[in-house]
Chain A
Amino acid sequence: MLQATQSSVQYASRTKLLDLAYSTAQKQNLKKVQAEIAQGSKIFYWLRALDYDAYLTQEQREKIWYCLIELADINDFPIAPTLGTVNRPNINVGGTTTITNNNTYSDGTPFENTDVDTGTETVVSIPVTDDYGAIFHYTIRNGVNQRSGVVIASWLSNGSSVVYSEDCTEDIGDTSDVTLSVDYNSGNIRLLATATSNNWTVEGKYYLIHS
């Protein structure tokens, strides 16, 4: 049996509801956005139905989920098989060495700078202790302009050398006004955002790479 995660469907649907409310709220002539208002209202009503979850059968619940997935244009929505409780996998690498995958997404440390303006700003600053590298998963956004990506950084413990690379999605809209970099400053590794316009948000999670 395939089972979508209800909280994921609700979260994505509420994101769509917010985007539709925001776009229609900017229009003076509501007749031109009647379809969007109807779409947003339906999402709200369907979500409200899930509030009465305790009274629904699994079949009814799934019908609402699929309606929401279609209604909210949730493309490529992850529908995973029901696996029950799954232990984190162990990966054997040669001999007896074992790498345990315990670095799930929820283990990362969140960071955000919700107001990156023209110039260079620190997004996150990490004290250099026993770590020699980090992976930054990020999203940069400003209105309808957005990209997501990964910055990988490595440094010597005294900060004398810092290298980094970036891999990212194509832009939704245009995010070329913002570039990311990594430097060492006073015992801290910093993820920096350099912008040529105002009001950008840079957020995500980072994972330290231990020696």
Chain B
Amino acid sequence: MALDVTLSVDISSDRLTGTLNDDTTYGGSNPSRAALRVFADGYKMTADNTATTLTLTSNTSDPQTVTSWDFDISEDGWFKFYYVAIPAYAGGTTYAIYDAVYDNDNTVYRSKQNGNVGNALSNTTYWEVITDPAALAANLTETNESLNITSLIYQRVLTPNSEYAYSNMIGENCSCSDCDENETIYDYQIFSFWLNGALVADERTEVVKGETICRRIASRFIDC
């Protein structure tokens, strides 16, 4: 299914909440939104690839019309999102193993066999229910990839708390009359250097490097 997906993240002014936005233009050269059901999952990742599930709160519970998902930002660093767009079941279509479809109740099923045509979704010999459809994106490029759906793994290095801490540090110190100027300027230097490294990591999707830099910023300038 050829679907050109565009995602983005907005961050609230209090830095506590992020919003994953589906900016995809449906219709035209893309399939129409009415023909798809869209699902997303989110994870906060550590540099050793350990995932903590984020609670995503969608702007509507209807996977046909959902366009955004809110999530808590407990700390800066590497965030990973799974996005899938799944087509409707069609009785005349031959499905391969791992192909996924949705039914009238928006329940998602995955084919258990190749050459699966004309079999009811309730037939457990041919179909299995997928309770977390967005997790299908994790199979992207793996041997069990669902080739008939659109999957995307969208990764960001988010730095709102670091950006705030940097500005706040400058704001606090600029009126400090008894601060050691050399020491504070050295801190500005390290902070801006690391923060910009994290911004480049976000731009390049160098997420492990970005996460590592964010943890170091936090340990030196935020958590202490």
**Which residues of A pack against B, CB within 8 Å?**
14-15, 17-22, 24-26, 30, 37, 40-41, 44, 113-115, 120-125, 186, 198-199
Number of chain B residues whose Cβ lies closer than 8 Å to a Cβ of chain A: 29
Give 15 A-B pairs besides A18-B197, A25-B217 with Cβ atoms closer than 8 angstroms. Answer: A17-B193, A20-B197, A21-B193, A21-B200, A25-B213, A30-B190, A40-B193, A44-B193, A44-B196, A113-B141, A114-B153, A115-B49, A121-B143, A122-B145, A123-B141
Asked whether A41 and B209 contact (CB < 8 A) given A18-B200, A21-B198, A121-B141, the answer is no
Interface centre among A19, A114, A186, A198, by most chain B C-beta atoms within 10 angstroms, is A114
Contact B49 A199 (CB under 8 A): yes
A18 contacts B206, C-beta separation under 8 Å = yes
Flag if A22 contacts B197 (CB, 8 Å).
yes
How near does chain A come to B151, taking the closest CB pair, in angstroms? Answer: 13
Residues of B within 8 A of A17 (CB): 193, 196-197, 200
Alpha-carbon distance A44/B194, docked complex (angstroms): 10
Please indicate the chain A residues that have their CB under 8 angstroms from the CB of B213 in the complex: 21-22, 25
Q: List 5 A-B contacts (CB under 8 A).
A: A20-B193, A37-B193, A113-B141, A121-B141, A124-B141
Chain A residue contacts of B193, Cβ below 8 A: 17, 20-21, 24, 37, 40-41, 44
- Say whether, besides A40-B197, A113-B141, A18 and B204 are in contact (CB < 8 Å): yes
**Residue in chain B with minimal CB distance to A202:** B141
Choose among A18, A41, A124 the residue with the greatest number of B CB atoms under 10 Å from its CB: A18
Q: A18-B204, A21-B194, A37-B193 are in contact. Are A26 and B216 (CB under 8 A)?
A: yes
Tell me if B's interface is mostly helix, strand, loop or mixed.
helix
Interface bits B6-27 vs A (CB < 8 Å: 1, else 0): 0000000000000000000000
Flag B209-224 by CB within 8 Å of A: 1 or 0 each: 1001101110000000
Measured between beta carbons, the chain A residues less than 8 angstroms from B184 are none
Cβ contact within 8 Å between A25 and B197 = yes
> B121-163: contact bitstring with A at CB < 8 Å (1 yes, 0 no)?
0000000000000000000011101000000010100000000
The 3 closest A-B pairs by CB, nearest first: A21-B197, A25-B216, A22-B209
A22-B212 in contact (CB<8A)? yes
Contact among B145, B153, B190, B217 with A37 in the assembled complex (CB-CB below 8 Å): B190
Q: How many Å from the CB of A108 to the closest CB on chain B?
A: 18
B57 at the interface (CB under 8 A from A): no
Q: Return chain B residues, CB-CB under 8 Å to A44.
A: 192-193, 196
Residues of A with C-beta under 8 A to B217: 25
Contact B192 A114, beta carbon cutoff 8 Å: no
Alpha-carbon distance A26/B209, docked complex (angstroms) = 10
Q: A26-B212, A41-B189, A121-B142 are in contact. Are A21 and B196 (CB under 8 A)?
A: yes
Task: Name the residue on B nearest A14 (C-beta).
Answer: B200
Which chain A residues lie closer than 8 Å to B108 at the CB level?
Answer: none
- In the assembled complex, how far is the CB of residue A37 from the closest CB belonging to chain B, in whole angstroms? 6
Asked if B86 is at the interface (CB within 8 A of a chain A CB), the reply is no
With most chain A CB atoms within 10 A of its CB, the pick from B49, B190, B200, B206 is B200
The answer to the question of B100 belonging to the interface, with a C-beta cut-off of 8 Å to chain A, is no
B201 located at the interface, meaning its Cβ lies under 8 Å from any Cβ of chain A in the complex: yes
Considering only residues 163-200 of chain B, those with a C-beta below 8 Å from chain A are 189-190, 192-194, 196-198, 200
